[in-house]
Amino acid sequence: MKLFLDTANVEHVREIAAWGVLDGVTTNPSLVAKEGKEFKATVLAMCELVPCVSAQVTAVDAPGMITQGEEYAAWHKHIVVKVPMTVEGLKALTYFKKKGIKTNTTLVFSVSQALLAAKAGASMISPFVGRLDDAGENGMGLIAKIMEAWSHYDFQTEVLVASTRHPEHIEEAARLGAHIATIPYEVFLKLPKHPLTDAGLKKFLEDWEKVKK
Ligand code: G3P
């Protein structure tokens, strides 16, 4: 299972990449706006730290998405073009697939959308589990349904669990066999922690103090 950081903060990517467990980064226009830094420079800095960086198009028509996506893909070989799950997005995905440009379909909220994006040749699809939970639906239930559908076929499209809010989302994604989870920085920091690990280490060090010469 691959772990991505969901951020536009280069320093956060540098910090987590140093753990040796980071496989990629997903950005989106909201995350870029939050950091307030130049988009291309941010994406290129991240490409030096991880092998896979999703950069989202902002055009809403297929020709516009294609122009933007081709430009992004030319910036660096680690860039994955992120395309919204719309009919225009499907047309763009089909084009990018033919051109060998990697894609991530964002804003996926149903099995039907997942299926169409996979058939259009998306490299990854991003179902948004937290936003479904926020809307009173079962986000991880959607991942279970998508993974069940995937088990019947030979789709090359990876299922990227997005809009994660807490470590349980990541654990459940792994249990369901999802290929990737993208994780906010604050949630990533919680993953290595367990109170029994802290208490156990404290006791080991206290006991060692008693016997060391
Ligand atoms: O990459 C985008 C996705 O993870 C959005 O998350 O927290 O804005 O619902 P959120």
At 33-63, the pLDDT tens digits run: 999 999 999 999 999 999 999 999 999 999 9
pLDDT value, residue 119: 98
Q: Which residue, among 113, 126, 45, 37, has the nearest Cα to 81 in the 3D structure?
A: 126
pLDDT value, residue 51: 98
Q: pLDDT for 97-134, tens place per residue?
A: 999 999 999 999 999 999 999 999 999 999 999 999 99
Q: pLDDT for 133-142, tens place per residue?
A: 999 999 999 9
Please, which contacts does 66-70 make with residues 24 or more away whose CB atoms are closer than 8 Å? 66/92, 66/95, 66/96, 69/96, 69/101, 69/103, 70/99, 70/101
The rounded distance, in Å, linking the Cα atoms of 115 and 133 is 21
The CA 6 to ligand 1 mean position distance, Å, reads: 7
Catalytic residue among 82, 119, 190, 213: 82
Output the pTM of the full model. 0.96
Tell me the fold of 2-212.
TIM Barrel (3.20.20)
Asked about 82 being catalytic, the answer comes back as: yes
What number is the average pLDDT over the span 1-21? 98
> Which of residues 174 and 32 earns the better pLDDT score?
174
In short, whether 163's Cβ falls inside 6 Å of ligand 1 is yes
Sorted by where each begins, the domain ranges of the chain are: 2-212
The CA 202 to ligand 1 mean position distance, Å, reads: 36
Nearest atom within ligand 1 for CA of residue 30 = 8
Say if CB 181 and CB 160 are below 8 A apart.
Answer: yes
Over the chain, what is the mean pLDDT? 97
The rounded distance, in Å, linking the Cα atoms of 72 and 95 is 15
Residues composing the chain: 213
The rounded distance, in Å, linking the Cα atoms of 16 and 194 is 18
pLDDT value, residue 212: 82
Residue nearest to atom 5 of ligand 1 (CA): 163
SS3 157: coil
